[in-house]
Amino acid sequence: MNAFVLNRHGRMVFPSNIMPELDFSTMETLEQLDSVIRRDFETKAPSGTEILERVRTGAYESRYDLMRDLALNLFWANRFSITMYDKRPTRWGDLPRTRPDVFLPVLEPWEDGEAKVTGVQEAYPTLPSRWNEGCEDRIFQILFDVFANRRNHASTLPAVKPTVAGFLEQPGALTFRLRGYDPDYPVYDYTDILDVSEDVPELEALHRWAMVLHNQYPWDRSQVELADASQMQDDDWVVAFHPRDKEVRAFLRRLRAGHAPRPVAGPRESRPPVRPYPELDVRRSFSVQPRIEALAAVHGDQVCGNDDLIRNTAYNWSPMSAEEIAAKTGIEQREYSSLPLEELALQAAEAALEKSGRQPEEIGAVLVCTCTSSRLIPSLATYLCGQLGMHQVYAAYDLIAACAGMPYGVADAVRMLQEVERPVLVVCVEKFSDKIGNVRTSRMIFGDGAAALVVGPAPEGTEGDIDYMKTYASGPASEVNSILWPNPEFDNNITVFGPQVKALAGRYLSQMIDELGQLPAPDGRDGSLMDAIDLIVPHQANKTMVIGLAERAGLTADQLYFNIEQVGNTSSASIPLAIHDAVRDGVITEPVRVFAPGFGAGAVAGYAVMRVDPAVVAVQTASVPHEQGADLPAPTASAQTGSASEGMQEAFG
């Protein structure tokens, strides 16, 4: 888990963004590691030669641009040592010679290193400051001290270092030699790094980068040189590399054993079903009509604004401003929770039960829709039963339908009503904030939150609240696998493949609107069911994308309601959270017919056409727990469209 922390200034910090830690439990081969290293370090980082060329050609527009390149170069130069090893200065005479888990790096002298260092040193004062000259000078001093004292070439570093015995078998092999070593050489404490505070978000991120890089060389760097074994004296110090944890040790053992990963069969060509699946006309198909007795929501208690993302820029992110994030996603902030997933779900469930006036013993079934639970035994649904004091229910289970969770959950609840004729508690809950890692596209989009509905039997002789419902799943394998978690290729973090997500969302949304356009309006009204819709509350995936897809399908932006600007994408919880906020903010003030489509990971989708009465919504008073959210406007049913095509691949990865 990659949880956020709050520093002493009350600012949100993502340690995984600034302190590279790969999950080696997912690594099987050097090729797999190489792919991750190239993606996270190499593709963004310029070489020393490229930096010097940019200096000579005047390519740098500001001091910040030059410093950012220096930092990226230094992360690249440390790409294996920072992710795989602990560096421990050790006296040559005390260095174990035969242990299989102690390594020495073999290094090549840095070609033209002096010219590159001199070029940077002379260029920096000639460049204009981007934001704050004093702050930029302080950061440059940290970075340049590391850059100027580099001794080795960075492009020839292997991931697996030779053992000490292997090093001794290579005549002329060079490694670090320290003429002296002070164990109290000053380094930045973990808390020091978290507590960095700069007015400019970009400089705050760069300052943290510089501190992390400084800590990679906790000795007097000016006294370091490269030497071979024949030049070593017993009192010389060398830098021994030790595997940083048991997972790196296990990875190195796997490499020595030479185990090949199992081949994975490719997917078959996808084919459409032999005939379409019909939508469910709830009034005609079921004898027990569903009534929405209550809807309650629990928002995250910490706001992560776009500036917070920039303050936490990871070393593998392309430059992007807070304004660009808003333009590409429609998100100004996302809400995170300090609570565990289970507590979010429990609070939503308790609030919904209280609003409905139902006691736990009256509930016939509990369904939990989530794609971010790590609880398998017992399921989150059965855990809630125990916490709520439900001695026995007809059924309790978790349902993984990702962003279509609410339509799937409501559909199952309606079917369950036919069997038990007792209210069904449907809880939609997600906690993404601790599962994202340093993948920017995921960090930009996802938030935390929960909502719960009590779906009970309507009194005999009365109409229910749900007109139609339908679920879908699957498609081409590229769409099925368009959002992955855990993903071994991205260090087990949530990964979003934007073009495939856009393809499945467009396919399903167009299909849904076509189907609703062919159904008759209810209650004998003229026109189609689509014409009878008062408000569309879609899954809050990416506002820019959804509006573009909706307009392509013949809808207008003012027919759609969004709260994604403030809460982000909360997957299964997004639709009920949005309905709650629409009531809270006065968009829904009387009973309305809502079309609620959801679509997402696994190429799943679904919708419900239902009556929403604001009287059954347990309104949670809006709060702003973080000062960056204080001036954000309340969401409305009208949306600013922007350009749906601009930057979509960048917005989703």
Active site residues: 403, 539, 569
Picking from 417, 413, 377, 381, the residue whose alpha carbon sits closest to that of residue 398 is: 381
What does the alpha-carbon distance between residue 229 and residue 231 come to, in Å, rounded to a whole number? 5
- Residue 456: phi, psi to the nearest 5? -115, 175
**Residue 5: both structure tokens together:** 């922390």
Q: Is 606 exposed, middle or buried (0-12, 13-18, 19+ CB in 10 A)?
A: buried
CB 70 within 8 A of CB 141: no
Contact between 433 and 4 under an 8 Å Cβ cutoff? The reply is: yes
CB 636 within 8 A of CB 479: no
Secondary structure of 207-250 in HEC code, one letter for each residue = HHHHHHHHCCCCCCHHHEEEECHHHCCCCCEEEEEEECCHHHHH
Instruction: Give whole-number Cα distances, 410 to 213, 282, 433, 459, 516, in Å.
Output: 51, 12, 26, 18, 18
How far is the C-alpha of 489 from the C-alpha of 581, rounded, in Å? Answer: 37
Q: N- to C-terminal Cα distance for the chain? A: 21
**Whether 578 contacts 295, CB under 8 Å:** no
Strands (E), 459-564: 466-473, 483-484, 495-496, 535-536
Contact 75, 45 (CB under 8 A): yes
Strands 333-336 and 483-484: unpaired
* Token representation of residue 471: 């679920």
Short-list 587, 594, 527, CA closest to 563: 587
